[in-house]
Amino acid sequence: MGEKPTRVLSQENSVVRWLMTDGLRITDAKSFLEAFASRLRNAGVDVCRITTGVPVLHPQLFSTSSLWELDKGVTERLYHADTSQDAILANSPIRAAYDGRPFRSRLTSAERRRCGARSVCRP
């Protein structure tokens, strides 16, 4: 009657286990994203790019974002609270993630060579 539930802290879920244990102790965003990407790749997930976006409660900032790319490492970006940014956000994958919806887009030919055929944004 269905699959046997997998225990979250089991060895079969090494990435989830890491997130709930050692990953919690990493407070620097860049260090966390680098370690998370490494864990995913070591677990067999063929990921070459991860983007995070975190809304912030600040009068001059809208969000902070980190981008990890294979062979490039992590960069951080700050997005300022500015009405000119509204249209950009409305048409971005991050809007879909903030709304809890998946988003798919075509990659450039260079990204396809590096990362495969598709891109998916998950909340």
Continuous H helices in the chain: 14-20, 29-42, 86-90, 93-98, 109-115
Split the chain (123 residues) into runs of 10 and give each run's mean pLDDT: 50 81 93 94 86 78 84 85 73 76 71 60 48
pLDDT, position 2: 52
Angstrom distance (rounded) from CA 48 to CA 65: 17
Q: How many residues in the chain?
A: 123
Q: Taking the chain, what is the end-to-end CA distance rounded to the nearest angstrom?
A: 29
Q: Quick one: pLDDT at residue 6?
A: 47
Check if the beta carbon of residue 105 is closer than 8 Å to that of residue 92.
no
Position 14 scores a pLDDT of 85
Q: Are 14 and 23 in contact (CB under 8 A)?
A: no
What local confidence, expressed as pLDDT, does residue 119 receive?
A: 52
The token pair that represents 102 in the structure block: 């998946």
Query: Are 79 and 65 contacting, i.e. CB atoms less than 8 angstroms apart?
Result: yes
pLDDT at 1: 46
pLDDT for 89 equals: 73
* Residue 123: per-residue pLDDT: 45
